[in-house]
Amino acid sequence: MLESYKEITSISLNKLKDYLDVIDVYHDSFIDTCRSQKKIEGYIKAHQKKYLGLALKKLYEIDDMQCLENHLVMIEYLFGEHPRIQSLNKNLCNYMLHNGSPLDVYRIVRHLMPFSYLALISLLVDKEVITYAQAAYFSLVEEDIEGAYEYLKKCEVEPDESLLNLYASYDLIGYFQLVDHYSKKVSYQVSGGIRWEKKCGLSSHY
């Protein structure tokens, strides 16, 4: 499941504790009993070398993209300014752009680029890394309904029904406008084909 950027980058006290429990099973009892997120973050900062090493060690053991994203979010939150993390982000971004599936590229790269996730969607479309339909889906995940509508209108063929149904759950009027748009597009293409056949003297029986 792909969460929105806002959802996955929202760090709560429990989320922070759960992450520390994963990377350091034998962590200080202070982390378990502390009820202040700010104090825990201060504790990690005071022991940055230890926790950065543990975080990177765990990161390199991961082979699941959703899990990788969760760890990247926490690493960026806790150690984002560290030179090792900036270098990691650059290398990982380059790797994903050349080797990842469209979904995985968006899932991971949105945390590595120095601009908004909406700008990233536009860039990935321009570079033909993702299709208009995929761009529409990512826009819906980020609740950019207007952006999703524009990408759906640009699709050469009518998108998958599940994607249109997802769009309809946000904007029913826009959904019917899109259905009408695709219907007219198909009618135009069919009538254009008939006119071309007549002009060339071709029979529709061929």
Portion of the chain with pLDDT greater than 70, in percent: 90
Q: Considering only CA atoms, which of 117, 107, 111, 66 is closest in space to residue 89?
A: 111
Tens digits of residue pLDDT in 26-65 = 888 899 999 999 999 999 999 999 999 999 999 999 999 9
What is the DSSP annotation of the chain? Answer: -PPPHHHHT---HHHHHHHHHHH-TT--HHHHH---HHHHHHHHHHTHHHHHHHHHHHHTT---HHHHHHHHHHHHHHHTTSHHHHHHHHHHHHHHHHHS-HHHHHHHHTTTSSS-HHHHHHHHHHTTSS-HHHHHHHHHHTT-HHHHHHHHHT-SSPPPHHHHHHHHTT-HHHHHHHHHHHHHHHHHHHHHHHHHHHHHT--TT-
Give the global pTM: 0.86
Tens digits of residue pLDDT in 62-87 = 999 999 999 999 999 999 999 999 99
Dihedral (CA of 74, 19, 70, 96) sign: positive
Mean pLDDT of 178-186: 87
Portion of the chain with pLDDT greater than 90, in percent: 83
Cα end-to-end distance, the chain, whole Å? 47
Question: What average pLDDT is seen over the chain?
Answer: 90
Q: What is the pLDDT of residue 14?
A: 96
pLDDT band at residue 189 using 50, 70 and 90 as cut-offs: low
pLDDT band at residue 198 using 50, 70 and 90 as cut-offs: very low
Task: Find out whether 153 and 178 touch, Cβ atoms under 8 Å.
Answer: yes
Tens digits of residue pLDDT in 149-177 = 999 999 999 999 999 999 999 999 999 99
Q: What is the pLDDT of residue 1?
A: 82
Cα–Cα dist 31/185, whole Å: 60
Mean pLDDT of 178-194: 70
Structure tokens at 66: 């959703």
Length of the chain: 206
Task: Find out whether 174 and 149 touch, Cβ atoms under 8 Å.
Answer: yes
Q: Where are the domains of the chain?
A: 1-114, 115-206
